Amino acid sequence: MATASLDKPAPTPPLRPSPLDLLRAELRLHRAALWIWTAFVVITAGLLLWLTGPGASTTQKAFDKFGYAGVQLEAWKGPVHNVFLSTTYNDLFYDPSKLITLATFCVALFAAGPLIARELESGTTRLAWSQSVSPARWLAAKLAVPAVVATVGTGLLILLYRLLWSSHSDLLRAGYDPRHLYFSIGPATVLAPLLALALGALCGLLLRRTLPAMAVAAVLQYVVTAIRSGLWPFQRAFQVPDLSVHSRAITSSGARITDPECYDKAACLAKHHVTGFTRTYLPSDDFWTRQLLESGVLIALTALAVGIAFWTLKRRTV
């Protein structure tokens, strides 16, 4: 007489999530941060486009009429010192750079807190690791998604900034500020959020508590920003020459002469038959040298921080 087998069927191994599944999960989990970043990129890009177009009209008319003196007159209409989101074109020109620096700082805080430490502190990582997602894959997904989003967004803003510089850098007051901005709108600035992301993630993995991790990440990012602003091959905040400027006045015959420096005296301009002006910041010979050196340092530090982060995760999950 045949008997039915009482053997239980072998358990089905859990499905291994695909990279696309991990991508969707990360985007869904941090959709609020994604929307905030998108809003930042859209607003900053809009400001850059406005500065490239209609925002420059008043200062451009002053420049066309009085040359560099017109630029100074327009700049002096605002406060003596630069104020964040000032009303003068000269100050507004620098505000997107301030916004990018602030956003990079926020990337470090986000990586340290909501991205890494909060999940370790709440224990949700155990659920992810129990569903065929290894700790290494979990961390890779955590870093890859914001890295791509930050690089694309910052890269777009730097391209728009280069367009603005090439169009209207002649409307800036001379001094150190144009040089600092000139060396800030390059590939190194696109890489800076990646280092901020790596440092923040490392702080989150080491401290495993949201607020302490964010505090330490804030300090580290402040130090990185200060070093980038003050040491070769970076910006060097002190004892640097101004960018070279080539200025000429255009006469009614089309000849280009040395600026007679009439300031805003219409009679003086008429005497010299001046009908317009040109003014161009000359490219710096060491721009790409500095950019490549800084980019190399940022990539090396980012790789080191990411390597230590994976090593720390492995040590704590073995």
Enumerate residues 6+ apart whose C-beta is below 8 A from 65: none
Consecutive H or E run containing 114: none
5 three-state secondary structure: coil
The answer to whether 305 touches 298, Cβ cutoff 8 Å, is: no
Work out the number of other CB atoms within 10 angstroms of the CB of residue 182: 18
Using alpha carbons, select from 192, 193, 191, 220 the residue that is nearest to residue 204. 220
Laid out side by side, the sheet with 274-281 consists of 256-257, 245-251, 274-281
Per-residue pLDDT of the chain (318 residues; tens, 9 = 90+): 445 444 555 454 555 666 665 666 666 767 888 899 999 999 999 999 999 999 999 999 999 999 899 899 888 876 655 555 567 899 999 999 999 999 999 999 999 988 898 888 887 777 666 666 788 888 888 899 999 999 999 999 999 999 999 999 999 998 888 988 998 999 999 999 999 999 999 999 999 999 999 999 999 999 999 888 766 555 554 456 678 888 899 998 888 988 888 888 888 988 888 988 899 998 888 888 889 999 999 999 999 999 999 999 988 775
Query: What pTM did the predictor assign?
Result: 0.86
Contact (CB, 8 A) for 84 and 163: no
Retrieve residue 204's tokens.
Answer: 């989150």
Contact 250, 256 (CB under 8 A): yes
Expressed in angstroms, the distance from the first to the final Cα of the chain is 52
